[in-house]
Amino acid sequence: MYIWVVLATFIVALYSFNLSHRADMKEMLTLPQAEAVIGKMITQQRGAKKYVEGHSPQYNGQDVVSYFPGELTPEVDLKNYLPYGFINNREQGDYRTLIYCLDKNDATRATQLPGCGNNMVSCCSDPNSANYIVTFGCIPRKWRNVRTGKPRPEFYKALHRIAVDGTETGYAEYLDEEEFSDSRNVHNSKMAIRARNINLISIPQFIVEGKLAGVEYSFSDICGDNRKDEDGQMLSYGCDKCLVYISPVY
Amino acid sequence: MLKRKFSKLGELGSMMVEAMAMLGLISMVTPIVYKKAAERNMELQDVNAASQLRNIIKAVDEYITDNYGKITGAETVKNACPKEDEVKYTDFTANSSGDYIDIDIAHFCEYLPYGFLDENGDVNDNKIFNANFRVAIKKVESGGLNDSRKTLTGFVVASPHQGADFPRLRASRISSMIGGNGGYVENGEALGVQGMWGISNIEAELGLDNIENGAVIASSVTPISSGGSNDDAVLYRKWQANRELNTMETTLLMGASASAGRNIVNINQAVIEASATDETIDGGIEKALWLKNRAGAFVDGVLGVGANGQDLPAFRVEQDGSVKSGVTGGDGTTMTARFEVTAIDGAVKAADGKFKVNADGSFDAAINGDDGAGGNFANFSVDAGGNLLSKASGVFEKDLGVKGVAVVGSGDAALAGLTASGVSAAEPGFQLTVNDNAFIRGLLRVKHFKADNVDAGVLRAGVNDVMSNNNDDYTLIVDTQELSVGGDRFTVQNDTGDTKIKGGDLLVSDDADSFDLFLVSQADQYTYASGLRAGVPDGTIYPLEVANDDAGAITMNLKNTSSYIVGYDSSDGTLFDFNNDFSLVQKESGDNNSRLYLEDSQGRFSTKDSADEAFIEVTTKKIAADVTSGEANNNIELEQNAVNTGSADLTLRKSSSIKVFGENTGPLLYIDPEGVDAENPAIDRLNTEDSRGGVYIRRGVVDLESNHEDKYITPAFKDEKDKGYVRADMLISQEVGEGLDANSTFYNGAANVGGTDFLQYDIFMVNPAYTSVMHDIKLTSRGGARLSDILPDFINKGIYLADNTYAETMGDWGSMSYSISTSGGTAEVKGNRQDANDCSTRYPANPYECPTSPWLGVVPTPQCPPGYDKAVQVFPYGFNIAQAGVPGPNRTDFYIHTNPKEQYPDPLTDNDPYPLYFQKSTWLKTRAQQIGSQASFMGWYVLMGFVYPTSEWGNDYGAANIVQDTNNYYWNLFPVYYRELEAYSTVYCYFNRTRFDSDFVDTNYDQLKAFRYPTDKVRNYGNSANKATNVDRLDDPNLEYKNPW
């Protein structure tokens, strides 16, 4: 009998090592890892916002903005707006940052403003232009629920901690029929941003459906309508779930 | 006893074993427990280490934020740290690349957590990391095209006590717990968490040398840069049209004290609305703007320098409430004002006393520069109507005396509103200038009036000279531009009442629609204006001429339908004389009145040549184009005059012709039957003896209406079949054109028949396509018989010879499949076992030994017109019915064998006795069976042979290539050899009337049951009452014509 008592003691001792030795271990160990994933997007988006600011009349010495619809590459466009040493490898699935300049008169934001080109005044300076900075990328499988595919709670929490979630940041998801008719779906869009404290921030339609000229992959290619082929199979560059940060430019 | 002893020993042994096992287990598990406990300790240490680095990098970030300006401005940052209290950021420019600086961590004492440094500024001892924390700041300048910014990023490197032996697993774990800005060093390269960031050479890029592998590094959470609206470190808000977005709902404190405070500069407008609601105003709302501690308000425009060297402003509010401006001296407290608002009575006065605004609103102005001491003032006030009143005799009057120049109005000084300088009759020039509208209610008298634009109810000229009373000048002169008079107010009269236009020409605007010229006829007056003359001044009739010296186009426009030109007869009878072409032109669309109308019957229209020969002459009735509105057609009518009963023919002479053009939807030529005599043709030759004058219709159709009356035509057929006929003695083909060779269409090769230049057959040529749909043809060479009656219903399409040439091994032909075999350019219907069982194949030495199948082969289907049935007949004509034995040289026996298909020796060559064969059945039968159906119908296979009822011959022959027919008989139970049977097979196309749904096909005709009574004409079979004559029978009963034409 003694041997069983001793054996049980050791088993309990070994099992106890699986218990967390600090109550906040999750915050200490897990959340920083999730924050690192999210922080990269936040940092890149903030850099893009600074880029836009630097190309606005207050700083660019012009009467109109000098940015255009398209992609802001970290290695070129955002080089001077990102932390020193920032690494972005988009070929490996890192985040992409795009600028969309949409027609403000179109309440659903389903159309671009015409006439954009680098040799003329940017269409983004048009008073009728609604400009958006969008940074997006796949949420790694590690941070998603295996069954539902949605982000894990730790990811939600990390998002809540380092980003102003529920306003511009969250994961993108298609709406069901009931949500499509929701009054919060101001852009009458198929997709919305979801986060911890709010579950529907309408994503402008063109961002979901359209392609930006001269851009290898738009939001629609990776996170939106064009991420699957005609047979409904996910393309190699498509994401099951996307982390997205959309900032309107005022 | 012994048993219990052994039992005790057994218990002791078991306990020993358990003890041994327990010891073994303890010895195995205890190290694991210790190892696990140590790992947990390390994890806790790592957690603390990560927290420590997060705090340090946070301190560095805050330091950079607070000192961003000095750092980027290459200034020196000082603090109260015991060590390294000063860092000169000129070092940024001192290093080789000029963009990083290595700083002792002791310099951040004011930002680091309390206790991190000891009292000497050194780092306290640490469990994992040694005290040599390294800090670097990296500066990046954008140098971009439009945006110049400097970004600072801080880095902290902590080296573990273990140096390069520090496990990478722990370094990585600490890094990941720091967050996205964590990392560790490997081979001089900083590896950021999850590849988020990295620095390939921290010595070269950050100036941090001698960093061992495994050192943990943390960078700024976010870089600190100028102009970043998202940086929490700076207060910056962009301008927004919606200013609520930048509303500040708290007190703005510019530093803890005035000395440490900051300025607010570049204010465009400061609006103060004192209201102590949420925040108490120190001193009350009357001190909403409080310049404290003798702080002055300075209105730019320095007038002097005070005793203390300070600027003296041009405007100042004194402590007694008076406001002064214009400090001229003193030390800043005593002022000599140039402008003063007196605190006592509120009057505003100039410092020299020459101008004063009194408390009641009136103002005094010194007269002739008096300083006021003598009371030599002029007093003014402004009444409620805005009038400036001057004061005289104790009351304010409205008279305003101006001596010298008075300027009224605003605007450009050179164009002041009202300028008057000295009224003098001798003074030329403009003494009064009004730059805007002036209203004069009474009479304005002007001696000499010049204006470029005058609006007046009555404008009179030539009245009394206001200055000289000279009444002689009654002149209204329009020097250069036009004179415009509205309505009918233009009157020109001389003193005798005669209307005259003196001298020159009367020019009427070329805009004719806007001006009417009325010429009033008087007895001795005429108007003479550029060639327009009217009137009878001396009794002579003057023609109205429209002359044009420039030979340009002249249009006389008669505006409405009642306008006309009247000409009077003259001595030579010429009413109008046109030297040039005269055209009647329709001016506007829809105007049908462009016609030359000759009234009454005497009117005539003629053209003549020099020999007075008329080309077109209408002397009686009438050539008219009826263009009455609403009529669809324009007609030219030739009508016989009731008076002159002559012909109204339209005669074309010589080579003239009538040509009708146009895209009409109806006929081009109508012939009114009412105008054609019943005995005369509608078109005839003028000279009936002449062979010329035929009717030629190019590529047209002559569509003739029926000549029959309704009573002869069944109403249902009238529209479709009711046509007239062409009656002619001969219908000939076209002539052979010149050059047509002998191989032309109708030439049959025979020479000189009808001449080589003409077609051989002078017959009526019809289009074969339409001949084929003719209802019927009567052949007079057959007594007028209708072709449909003499055509056969069965058309023989082929006769085939069929004989038995296929071996009985073919088996059941009913199960054989058929297909069209193509080989050698031909197509043939074949069964799938046909070739293999050809007797020539199976019995190549002697086919005549081949017992054959009754299957003789395939007869292909005939090619028939649509609707025709396909039929076949099989006629046997050669067969060997029965042979009652074949007696050879030694055969005398008569033998009946029960199995006639059993093989026997050759009776001709074998010497053994053989029985006599006797074929009991002579039932010869032929049959044809179709192959395929509908579109895949290929033909028939033909059977011929002898059949034996199974009722008589039993059912035992199935295994011997004998085919039992479905009709319960065997075919060829006795052998039938090669080519013993022959038959003819004939195929037909059968005109099956019942398949046609047509009025022209007698679908009820049935030779057996519904044949037509021999003398019936109509389809009333067997009713002799309708019998017709033979002549009647020649007509088509379906057409039901009753007149035999």
pLDDT tens per residue, range B404-443: 444 444 444 444 334 444 444 444 455 555 556 666 666 6
What is the C-alpha separation between B63 and B108, in angstroms, rounded? 7
pLDDT at B102: 87
Contact B154, B64 (CB under 8 A): yes
- Considering CB atoms only, which of B22, B43, B177 is closest to A3? B22
pLDDT at B780: 75
C-alpha distances out from residue B400 to B64, B218, B378, B380, B391, Å: 75, 88, 12, 10, 10
3-state secondary structure of A156: helix
C-alpha distances out from residue B893 to B153, B903, B913, B916, B920, Å: 134, 18, 7, 7, 17
What is the C-alpha separation between A203 and A196, in angstroms, rounded? 17
Mean pLDDT for A30-47 is 87
3-state secondary structure of B50: helix
pLDDT at B155: 93
* Structural tokens at position B353: 């006393």
3-state secondary structure of B389: strand
C-alpha distances out from residue B239 to A246, B172, B523, Å: 21, 45, 90
ipTM of the modeled complex: 0.79
Q: Within a 13 Å sphere around the CA of B783, how many CA atoms are in the beta-carbon half?
A: 7
| pLDDT 10s digits, B469-481 | 555 545 566 655 5
Q: Which residue has the higher pLDDT, B375 or B914?
A: B375
Q: Evaluate if residue A248 carries a pLDDT over 80.
A: yes
- Considering CB atoms only, which of B142, B193, B205 is closest to A80? B142
pLDDT at B676: 73
Q: Evaluate if residue B566 carries a pLDDT over 90.
A: no
pLDDT at B126: 78
pLDDT at B764: 47
| pLDDT 10s digits, B847-886 | 988 889 999 999 999 999 888 999 999 999 988 776 554 4
Domain count, chain A: 1
Contact B970, B955 (CB under 8 A): no
Contact A213, A196 (CB under 8 A): no
Task: Tell me the pLDDT band of B963, cut-offs 50, 70 and 90.
Answer: confident
Q: Which residue has the higher pLDDT, B484 or B334?
A: B484
Least confident of B205-214, B631-640, B797-806: B631-640
Whole-number percent of chain B with pLDDT over 90: 11
A84 and B153 within 8 Å at the Cβ level: the answer is yes
Interface test with B, best of A21, A50, A79 (most B CBs within 10 A): A50
pLDDT at B523: 41
Q: Evaluate if residue B205 carries a pLDDT over 70.
A: yes
DSSP state at residue B828: E
What is the C-alpha separation between A233 and B278, in angstroms, rounded? 62
- Vertex B260 angle, CA B257 and B263, to 5°: 100
- Considering CB atoms only, which of B18, B173, B219 is closest to A83? B219
* Helical ranges in chain A per DSSP H: 2-16, 25, 31-54, 57-60, 153-162, 177-180, 205-209, 219-222
| pLDDT 10s digits, A119-161 | 678 888 888 899 999 999 999 999 999 888 889 988 888 888 8
DSSP state at residue B231: -
* A85/chain B closest Cα distance in angstroms: 5
C-alpha distances out from residue A76 to A9, A72, A88, B310, B461, Å: 61, 8, 11, 55, 86
A85 and B197 within 8 Å at the Cβ level: the answer is yes
Q: List the single residue in A with minimal CA-CA distance to B32.
A: A14
Q: What phi, psi does B260 have (nearest 5°)?
A: -95, 0
Q: List the single residue in B with minimal CA-CA distance to A95.
A: B196
Mean pLDDT for B956-978 is 77
Q: Is residue A15 part of a domain?
A: no
* B815/chain A closest Cα distance in angstroms: 50
Q: Is residue A4 part of a domain?
A: no
Q: Which residue has the higher pLDDT, B793 or A7?
A: B793
pLDDT at B838: 94
Q: What phi, psi does B305 have (nearest 5°)?
A: -120, 130
Interface check for A213 against chain B (CB to CB < 8 A): the answer is no
Q: Evaluate if residue B171 carries a pLDDT over 60.
A: yes
Burial code (b: 16+ CB inside 10 Å, e: under 16) for A19-31 equals: eeeeeebebbbbb
Contact B89, B69 (CB under 8 A): no
What is the C-alpha separation between B915 and B927, in angstroms, rounded? 33
Q: Evaluate if residue B626 carries a pLDDT over 50.
A: no
Domain chopping of chain B, boundaries: 32-225, 794-882+919-990
- Considering CB atoms only, which of B143, B197, B230 is closest to A49? B230
Whole-number percent of chain A with pLDDT over 90: 23
C-alpha distances out from residue A208 to A169, A232, B157, Å: 16, 16, 43
B194 and A55 within 8 Å at the Cβ level: the answer is no
Chain B residues inside the 8 Å CB shell of A22: 44, 47
B180 and A35 within 8 Å at the Cβ level: the answer is yes
pLDDT at B8: 73
A87 and B195 within 8 Å at the Cβ level: the answer is yes
pLDDT at B662: 60
Contact A164, A201 (CB under 8 A): no
What is the C-alpha separation between B908 and B906, in angstroms, rounded? 5
| pLDDT 10s digits, A169-199 | 889 999 888 888 888 888 888 899 888 776 6
| Mean residue pLDDT across chain B | 68
- Considering CB atoms only, which of A7, A29, A87 is closest to B198? A87
pLDDT at B959: 56
| Mean residue pLDDT across chain A | 85
pLDDT at B92: 73
Mean pLDDT for B84-112 is 80
Contact B1015, B1025 (CB under 8 A): no
Q: Evaluate if residue A71 carries a pLDDT over 90.
A: yes
Top-ranked range on mean pLDDT: pick from B485-489, B514-518, B729-733, B748-752? B485-489
Q: What is the DSSP string of B440-494?
A: --S----SS---S----S----S---TTT-----------SS-----TT------
Q: List the single residue in A with minimal CA-CA distance to B145.
A: A60
Residue type, B701: V
Interface test with A, best of B26, B138, B147 (most A CBs within 10 A): B147
Interface test with B, best of A64, A80, A167 (most B CBs within 10 A): A80
| pLDDT 10s digits, B983-1024 | 999 999 999 888 887 666 777 777 777 666 665 655 555 555
Q: Is residue A19 part of a domain?
A: no
Question: CB count, 10 Å around CB of A72?
Answer: 22
| pLDDT 10s digits, B261-319 | 677 877 888 888 777 666 777 777 777 888 777 666 666 655 555 556 666 666 666 65
pLDDT at B404: 46
| pLDDT 10s digits, B41-62 | 888 888 888 988 988 998 998 8
pLDDT at B463: 58
| pLDDT 10s digits, B743-782 | 444 444 444 444 444 444 444 445 555 555 666 777 878 8
Interface check for A64 against chain B (CB to CB < 8 A): the answer is no
Q: Evaluate if residue A201 carries a pLDDT over 80.
A: yes
Mean pLDDT for B622-644 is 50
What is the C-alpha separation between A52 and B1028, in angstroms, rounded? 110
Q: Is B426 exposed, middle or buried (0-12, 13-18, 19+ CB in 10 A)?
A: exposed
Least confident of A46-50, B8-12, B469-473, B1006-1010: B469-473
- Considering CB atoms only, which of A3, A13, A53 is closest to B21? A3
Q: Which domain holds residue A225?
A: 24-249
Contact B733, B761 (CB under 8 A): yes
Q: Is residue A2 part of a domain?
A: no
pLDDT at B944: 94
Listed in order, strand segments (DSSP E) in B286-435 are 304-305, 311-312, 315-317, 323-325, 339-341, 348-350, 355-357, 363-366, 377-382, 388-392, 395-397, 406-408, 418-420, 432-434
Q: Evaluate if residue B468 carries a pLDDT over 80.
A: no
Q: List the single residue in B with minimal CA-CA distance to A58.
A: B238
Q: Is residue A57 part of a domain?
A: yes
Q: Evaluate if residue B930 carries a pLDDT over 60.
A: yes
| pLDDT 10s digits, B571-608 | 555 555 555 555 555 555 554 555 566 655 555 566 66
Q: Is residue A14 part of a domain?
A: no
How far does CA A182 lie from the centroid of its chain?
22
pLDDT at B738: 47
